[in-house]
Amino acid sequence: MKLVILDRDGVINYDSEDYIKSADEWYPIPGSLEAIARLNNAGISVAVATNQSAVARGLCDLDDINAIHQALRTRLSAVGGRVEVIAFCHHGPSNGCDCRKPLPGLLREIRRRTGFPLSGTPMVGDSRRDLEAALGVGAQPILVRTGNGEKTERLLPPPLAEVPVFDDLAAAVDALLEGALLERA
């Protein structure tokens, strides 16, 4: 395993029904930044794939999104972690792009920018669209119960109902580093 892909809102940081629109609204979920640092310390690169339709909805702009991502990188660096790539879709649900998850555009961008194959790569998310995006490119979907994850878990149809589920990113990273999920990859 050379790469792990993460959704942002609801996996790394708390989500909001009102969207995360500024760096002041960005709060990491306890243990998430340290979990990313543990992946890095094990020689594993981390990328983020995130839908950010608040831009298309006029709630914030690209400078705001970039400031949020800088806050993520700064806070992550403080605990010894890093992300190689943050790929984001700023389009709305009806804009017809190919980058909004569950479509494959963001994941293909990560592949292009990192050089790592997507097949078998773990992808951690809290929504059905995260899991579908992973399956669509042959990655290994993993669900966390943070963010929208508990609701998502209750509503998953087969074959999504069979994906590994963990309480949070820290627990998912524990399983990845212990090799508990590698046989599925």
For 116-172, how does the pLDDT look when each residue is reduced to its tens digit (9 = 90+)?
999 999 999 999 999 999 999 999 999 999 999 999 999 999 889 999 999 999 999
- Is 91 annotated as a binding-site member? yes
| H or E stretch at 47 | strand 45-51
Residue 183 has pLDDT above 50, yes or no: no
pLDDT confidence band for 94 (50 / 70 / 90): confident
CA–CA separation, 69 and 184 (whole Å): 31
Percent of the chain predicted with pLDDT > 70: 97
Instruction: Give residue 182's pLDDT.
Output: 52
Catalytic member of 7, 15, 130, 168:
7
Q: Is 97 among the annotated ligand-binding positions?
A: yes
Edge-first strand order for the sheet with 122-125 is 85-89, 45-51, 3-6, 122-125, 140-144, 165-166
CA angle 58, 7, 59 (to 5 degrees): 10
The string of pLDDT tens digits covering residues 42-80 is 999 999 999 999 999 999 999 999 999 999 999 999 999
Residue 7: active-site member: yes
Flag whether 60 is marked binding: no
For Cα atoms 33, 37, 43, give the angle at the middle one, nearest 5 degrees. 150
69 labelled ligand-binding: no
Residue 79 neighbours by CB under 8 Å, 6+ apart: 33, 34, 37
Mean pLDDT over 91-107 rounds to 94
Query: What tokens were used for 35?
Result: 């979990």
Residue 126 annotated in ligand binding: yes
HEC per residue, 100-146? CCCCCHHHHHHHHHHCCCCCCCEEEECCHHHHHHHHHCCCEEEEECC
CB 44, CB 2: distance < 8 Å: yes
Tell me if residue 89 falls in helix, strand or coil. strand
User: At residue 5, does pLDDT exceed 60?
Assistant: yes
89 annotated as a binding-site residue: yes
Candidate list 9, 15, 64, 168, residue with the active-site label: 9
Query: Which residue segments constitute the domains of the chain, with CATH numbers given?
Result: 3-180 (3.40.50.1000)
Give the separation between CA 71 and CA 38, rounded to whole angstroms.
19
pLDDT band at 1 (very low <50, low <70, confident <90, very high): confident
130 is catalytic: no
- Say what the pLDDT of residue 143 is: 98
